Each structure stands twice: as C-alpha cells, then as structure tokens.
Amino acid sequence: MPNNKRKNRGNKNKEVTMTPSNEKDTPIQDYEDDDIEEMQEADLKKLIRTLRSSQKQILELHKSLMDKIENLSRENEILRRNQNETKQLVQQETVIVTEVKNSIDQMKNTIESLTNRMGEAEERISDLEDREQERIQSDQRKEEEIRNLKHIVGNLQDTIKKTNIRVLGVPEGMEGEKGLEGLFSEILAENFPGLEKDREILVQEAHRTPNKHDQKRSSPRHVVIKLSTVKHKEKILKCAREKRQITLRGSPIRLTADFSSETLKARREWRDIAQVLRENNCQPRILYPAKLSFVNEGEIKTFHCKQKLKEFVATRPALQKMLKDVLHTETQKHGHQYERR
C-alpha cells in the first residue's frame, strides 16, 4: 500500500519547467513534504543539487537582467544627453543661420548701396571725362588759334622786316656822329665799293635792338637797317655771302636778313640738317622765310617743313642713310618737348 500511495502521489506531481539562461531546459519536480520525507538520501541530494543549480541559474539570470537594465539605463542616459546636445546644437545652428541671414541681408543692403554709389561715381567720372575731353579739345583749339595767330603775326613781322638787314657785331658807341646810317654806308664802302656808289640804295631807317642797352650784356646790340626795296636787300646779302668775311674798320661783323622770332626759330631748326647736307656737298640753302633747299641727284629740292622732308627721304635710300642720325635726333627732341607739355 505505501508503494501505491507513492505511485498515486507520484501521478499527482506536476512538472514545472524553468529556462535558465545559457543552459538547456531542465525539468524540476514539485515535491510535497511527505514525499521529501519518504525520499531516499540519494534522491534528496540530487534534489538539493537541482535546487542549487536552479538558484544559481536564477541568480545569473537576475544578474544578466540587471546588467541589461543598467546598460539600457546608460544608453538611455547617453541618448538623453545626445538629445539635449542635439537640441542645443539645433538651437545654436538656428541662431547661426539667423545671424548669417541677417549678415547676408546687411551685405545685400551694403552691396546695393555701394552699387548705387558706384553708379553715381561712374556718372560723375563720365561727366568729368566729358568735361576734360571738352577742355582738351578747347585747349587744342586755343593752341591751334595761338599757333595761327603767331604764324599770322610772324608773317606780318616778316612782311614789315622784309627790306631789313640785321648787322651783328658792331660795338656800342661806334656810330658816333655819323649815326647808324653813316656807319652802314661805311660798311658798304669797306666791303662792297661798287654798291656804295649805287645811289638807288637808300636807308629809310636805322636803329639798334633792343632799344635799351643792358650793361650786363656782353655782346653789343644788333643794328637793324631798313632799306627802300627788297631788291637792294637781296643784292647786299648776296654780295655778303660771296665775300664771306665782312669787316668794319678791320673787325669782323655779320650781315643777315631780319626775321621775326618765329621765323628765326624755324630757320634754326634746319641748321643741323643743313650742316650734314653741306658736309656731303648737297649745297644746302635756307630760303626765305624758312625753307630748306638742296641738290639731290642733280635736282634742286625745296621743303617748307620737316615732315615733307622725311617723306621724301624715305624714298631715297642714300639720302636716308645720310640724314638718319640727325632726323632721329630731331624726332627725340620733339618727343621730349611733347612730354614736358
């Protein structure tokens, strides 16, 4: 009977299954107190081992769960901090974007203002350039008018002085009682005896220039003799060129035509070119009022300005080689004068 009771009570036992972590499922029986009393020592030890094993598994499972909870808590804290940091970053970025937007708006306004001011400045500059161009054109017209007036005045002076002879080198006070007219007659008698007897040669006026004598001036003032006709002036100057050495009481003097300052300047500009032509036997002459004449390839060529001479020289290789240096020097001089202006 006791065996049957154990069997029946054994049938009443329920199987309870626990699944500890990291081990296979192990069935654990639910024992009554009577059953435990009737169990053999071996079975009891086995039960104790099972219970200890289950307790160990439960503790490990609890520890594992606590670790997971702790990890989840840490992760949650990290996530919460990240969320806060992200929120702060978003707020900062929002502030930065707002500031950048405001800065961009300010820059747009500044650029627009500068663009407007640049437009106004360009208009002013354009107006100033137009005025400057008008001023330059006006100055050019004035310079052209001045040149034309100087040319007209020079022509008038040359016309007035067309019958004049200028005597250079006559000492101050030599005229004495004879006067300048008597002194000129003495020059003709000393150098051109035949002309002195020509009664048609009449002196209309004689004077020194400038009118006032400068004591600091080392050279004597020029004597200007005004004759009655151009023919007589040319005749006397021709004789002077032929004789070459003109004297007054044994001292050398010079006889030249009397020109305006503009004409004298124009004649001087031919001087270096005429010197080179003379050295090459081209028989140069400076004709009235300021024209250059010389012989080239058996023909007499005459030029009233250097530009025409340059154009002609460009067609004559030999002449171009001859005048290359002097014409180049003249070009440089005019270039420097233009720069100084």
SS3 103: helix
Amino acid at 87: K
CA gap 57, 22 in Å, rounded: 9
Q: pLDDT above 70 covers what percent of the chain? A: 83
Mean pLDDT value across residues 251-270: 87
DSSP SS3 for 170: coil
How is domain 162-258 classified at the CATH fold level? Alpha-Beta Plaits (3.30.70)
155-207 pLDDT, tens per residue?
A: 888 888 889 999 999 998 888 878 999 999 899 989 988 776 677 788 899 99
Name the band, by pLDDT with cuts 50, 70 and 90, for residue 213. low
| CATH topology classification for 263-328 | Rec A Protein; domain 2 (3.30.250)
- The domain limits of the chain are 162-258, 263-328
pLDDT at 175 (0 to 100):
84
pLDDT the model gives residue 306: 86
- Residue 296 in tokens: 């080239």
CB atoms within 10 A of CB 292: 23
| DSSP calls for 21-83 | TTS--EEEE---HHHHHHS-HHHHHHHHHHHHHHHHHHHHHHHHHHHHHHHHHHHHHHHHHHH
pTM (global) more than 0.85: no
**What pLDDT does residue 331 have?**
55
Q: What is the 3-state secondary structure (H, E, C) of 138-165?
A: HHHHHHHHHHHHHHHHHHHHHHHCCCEE
In the chain, the amino acid numbered 65 is: L
Is the pLDDT confidence value at 294 over 90?
yes
Q: Which residue has the higher pLDDT, 135 or 23?
A: 135
Question: Distance of CA 217 to CAs 40, 179, 213, 221, Å?
Answer: 163, 22, 8, 9
Residue type, 232: H
* 85 confidence band (pLDDT: 50, 70, 90): confident
